[in-house]
Structure 1
């Protein structure tokens, strides 16, 4: 596809689904903010809106963080949930707040700062919501004139080419100052990619090459990116995919890009009738889970294999095995039987309600490209937010670090686990009945087996804790822990950047 055609397709992808006016017949919704305030659930403080920025603050540290952890853990998540007496109707709609935990042995400092997106700035000035979100609509909202007018920059952060990028799902990455978290504006990879979807889950090869994608559901376009280690765009292209679903994550191998596509498909008629972007999607189990495999060298070479219908947010990793029949790709991911969690669980917490959906389980799929056949095994282990050794992206990796263990009466997770993906053998550490676990990451150590680093929200103390574990002795508990004098809103993803 030549540059002119790519520009035309991305221009269509960036505007067509957003130029519809808000539905005039939309009913006045219940006051979710009042429902949240009236809720008696003890964990709801994890989803409160911080009123201000959080200046650089020293944590209380028990133990000493290993030398390999000297550096900064960057994290981000939805934080601005309330405005003008209205509360978002989905956790994923909150204005993004970026965090940095600066670690140096027995010292840890934290800073939190809202990402100054165009959406947040305009709505803060107006004192009310102006445009819809991923899962939220209100009567009287303005038409959305581009994806970036909805961009809340709240899902993940990527450090590449000397830049720190706050990532959303349906629009541009947002540049942040790594030392102050000041918002520096949108990242423009190329003029014709302005506003194009750039996923929150890029994959970084061991040589530093960044691979990413973006989904334009209403136009059936999958945008692919290849970015050099220095941050320079090598190539980008928009590819048509039939029945393109909601895709949140993917995997890479040395030779391929791997997309597991759940049967949650966009319905333009629902969107035209006034549904939110989320509610414009329909569950079509007859499509199954389709595994789309694309050659890294030639994006025109693609293959689709069939798996049983299921839903996923996150992928752990993928690797290739050569057999007599051809290449077999193994990919581990966290699988749910359906998409109820994104429609109910992560929505109802916005009014302080717990609606439990079937938790996802760690699953290992094998894609036999030569035979055109896919199989999978699902381990009886609750899992979410899988992370692995970043040096082994696309290679056989052995284990993942992930959140685990749901508890009665609590949303999300209360433990962190280390699980062998090919056997299901696992060890875990439980933070206790008053804790909500966030994503933990693996940090390599040239002198040993590495470390596990992550945050947990203790709703009993109303504090956020940063913990470090020896990767091979996770069940033994933290070797060091930093306690903030306050609680952070529950967030999503992050990455560690070693000091230089």
Structure 2
């Protein structure tokens, strides 16, 4: 093994960072413009194109971006909400997809809208508030866009905006020591009140770390330790955060590895942090002249690099090379006695999902891209690797029982398309047995779009997989104004039986990204 020196964080090098990345989906579609052509169509009326498409296809309502702040004391409940299930389910995502009358050009660009579903006593309440970021407050005061975004840039705006000036805080949430953090990829976390969702301001972990990127996919060990990362763009310097269960910063340091490109997620084993670094990296010649997304170039002949970092020393201890591939999300990772690391990851052969599919949906178009599939990746100590696809087609948003993070898990939960291929986007909830390969699944009726489900352990139980899956669904009506969003609860051991309980609003919510449950 090669061990290398760990370098401390340097805030000054991070202030030139650009925007970060986020999430997923996938549907069939027609050929489209090259990314550079899309970035150059400043005069095109994306809002009019989207509205016309929405009138034909109500399933696009989740990308309209007309999220509103509201409170609902009692959602319309059905089924039996378990008495022992008490707490709050939070989800984050882009709530508004326009600013100053201009529509964003990528799903990842809109301002963060955090949703809170309060659960207890058989009742479900709902609250939504926008994160009062620097960006949102400044643009509201100006009545116009002041900065570009991950996949959008308009004429007349500067490039090279400092990351926290363009931070929409729109990707995920982290309940931590009685607080709630709203997370983005390339800038500060925002502190929110977990009950009211009022924004308290940017989280400053330590004065010299103000503005350091704290990414949107932290991993929490079973003992409550939180691990996260941040990337400095365009240099690709990679930083690791360690935060205690009490919410106090334990460490932030640069590791001896660089990745000047998109990095959305990481995994942890009991001893290591694992990164998969895709060959989708920044072209220095384009940096500072196009949106962050369009500065990237796919390199099909370059490897997907796997890097293992020792949790104690933050030294890189192993590296592997795999065939080119791209993905957003890990389910879990674990390590065997001989040092072999295995992980499940949503792997696609290229980056078409992020640079085509999730961009064109903002114009109401559906663009073909190679779908990510649940894939088991094996990394041997001697450098050998193996890649084994587990799902036949599109699969995303993998989750495990949080008590199994970093340990060998048997149950993996994720979303897929309906088994008959009908219905918009992701419509099936799946439990996959990682030992036998057996699958238990529930296919929502056509017209239901499922969002990421989170696992909630049953109080008092220690058995893996004993608990519930909880997440939101968008029911698409015959017309967009007849759609609505609901919260669905499944017994995680019997998904095929369908939801055991649901709670419905009277209107649709914008589709979001990631969520978390905080027990009462």
**Bin for the TM-score computed over the shorter chain:** over 0.9
Task: Name the SS of the counterpart of 1:43 in structure 2.
Answer: helix
**Per the alignment, do residues 387 and 199 of structure 1 end up closer, same or farther by CA in structure 2, a change over 3 Å counting?**
same
Q: 1:227 aligns with which of 239, 243, 250?
A: 243
Aligned to 1:351: 363
Contact 1:312 1:336 in 2 (8 A): yes
Which residues in structure 2 correspond to 1:80-91 (within 5 Å)?
80-91=96-107
Aligned to 1:36: 50
Q: Which whole-Å deviations, capped at 9, do the CAs of 1:220-272 have from their partners, x for residues lacking one?
A: 20010011110111111123424443110011011000001111111121123
**What is the aligned residue count?**
486
Aligned to 2:471: 454
Q: Does 1:465 align with 2:465?
A: no
Q: Which moved more, 1:48-57 or 1:328-337?
A: 48-57
Task: Name the SS of the counterpart of 2:336 in structure 1.
Answer: strand
Partners of 2:229 and 2:161 in 1: how far apart? Answer: 22
Which residues in structure 2 correspond to 1:410-489 (within 5 Å)?
412-446=425-459, 449-460=466-477, 461-489=482-510
Q: TM-score, normalised by structure 2?
A: 0.89
Partners of 2:185 and 2:157 in 1: how far apart? Answer: 21
Q: Which whole-Å deviations, capped at 9, do the CAs of 1:145-172 have from their partners, x for residues lacking one?
A: 4210110001000011221000000000
Deviation of 1:38 after TM superposition, in Å, equals 1.7
Q: Which whole-Å deviations, capped at 9, do the CAs of 1:374-394 have from their partners, x for residues lacking one?
A: 212111333101111011110
Task: Name the SS of the counterpart of 1:495 in structure 2.
Answer: strand
**Per the alignment, do residues 200 and 68 of structure 1 end up closer, same or farther by CA in structure 2, a change over 3 Å counting?**
farther
Q: Which whole-Å deviations, capped at 9, do the CAs of 1:36-82 have from their partners, x for residues lacking one?
A: 11212221211123363112342111122123421100111011102
Aligned to 1:275: 290
Q: Which whole-Å deviations, capped at 9, do the CAs of 1:458-481 have from their partners, x for residues lacking one?
A: 111411111111111101101111
Partners of 1:166 and 1:66 in 2: how far apart? Answer: 28
Task: Name the SS of the counterpart of 1:179 in structure 2.
Answer: coil
Aligned to 1:302: 317
Q: 2:372 aligns with which of 320, 336, 360?
A: 360
- Larger relative contact order (CA 8 Å, sep ≥ 6): 2
Deviation of 1:16 after TM superposition, in Å, equals 6.2
Deviation of 1:318 after TM superposition, in Å, equals 0.6
Partners of 1:51 and 1:313 in 2: how far apart? Answer: 25
Contact 1:68 1:444 in 2 (8 A): no
Q: Does 1:208 align with 2:208?
A: no
Deviation of 1:137 after TM superposition, in Å, equals 0.6
Partners of 1:243 and 1:167 in 2: how far apart? Answer: 21
Q: Which moved more, 1:57-66 or 1:46-55?
A: 46-55
Contact 2:86 2:119 in 1 (8 A): yes
Partners of 2:426 and 2:327 in 1: how far apart? Answer: 17
**Per the alignment, do residues 402 and 279 of structure 1 end up closer, same or farther by CA in structure 2, a change over 3 Å counting?**
same
**Per the alignment, do residues 475 and 26 of structure 1 end up closer, same or farther by CA in structure 2, a change over 3 Å counting?**
closer
Structure with greater proportional strand content: 1
Root mean square deviation, CA, Å = 2.1
Partners of 2:98 and 2:299 in 1: how far apart? Answer: 33
Q: Which moved more, 1:145-154 or 1:9-18?
A: 9-18
Task: Name the SS of the counterpart of 1:148 in structure 2.
Answer: helix
Aligned to 2:255: 239
Q: Does 1:15 align with 2:16?
A: yes
Aligned to 2:34: none
Which residues in structure 2 correspond to 1:184-195 (within 5 Å)?
184-195=200-211
Task: Name the SS of the counterpart of 1:241 in structure 2.
Answer: strand
Q: 1:180 aligns with which of 176, 184, 196?
A: 196
Contact 1:27 1:139 in 2 (8 A): no
Aligned to 1:322: 337
Partners of 2:332 and 2:232 in 1: how far apart? Answer: 24
Deviation of 1:128 after TM superposition, in Å, equals 1.6
Q: TM-score, normalised by structure 1?
A: 0.93
Task: Name the SS of the counterpart of 2:12 in structure 1.
Answer: helix
Task: Name the SS of the counterpart of 1:292 in structure 2.
Answer: strand
Q: Does 1:337 align with 2:349?
A: yes
Partners of 1:317 and 1:153 in 2: how far apart? Answer: 25
Task: Name the SS of the counterpart of 1:38 in structure 2.
Answer: helix
Partners of 1:373 and 1:29 in 2: how far apart? Answer: 51
Contact 2:190 2:199 in 1 (8 A): yes
Contact 1:102 1:109 in 2 (8 A): yes
Contact 1:146 1:195 in 2 (8 A): no
Q: 1:151 aligns with which of 148, 167, 180?
A: 167
Q: 1:373 aligns with which of 384, 401, 405?
A: 384
Partners of 1:479 and 1:330 in 2: how far apart? Answer: 33
Task: Name the SS of the counterpart of 2:14 in structure 1.
Answer: helix
**Per the alignment, do residues 346 and 332 of structure 1 end up closer, same or farther by CA in structure 2, a change over 3 Å counting?**
same
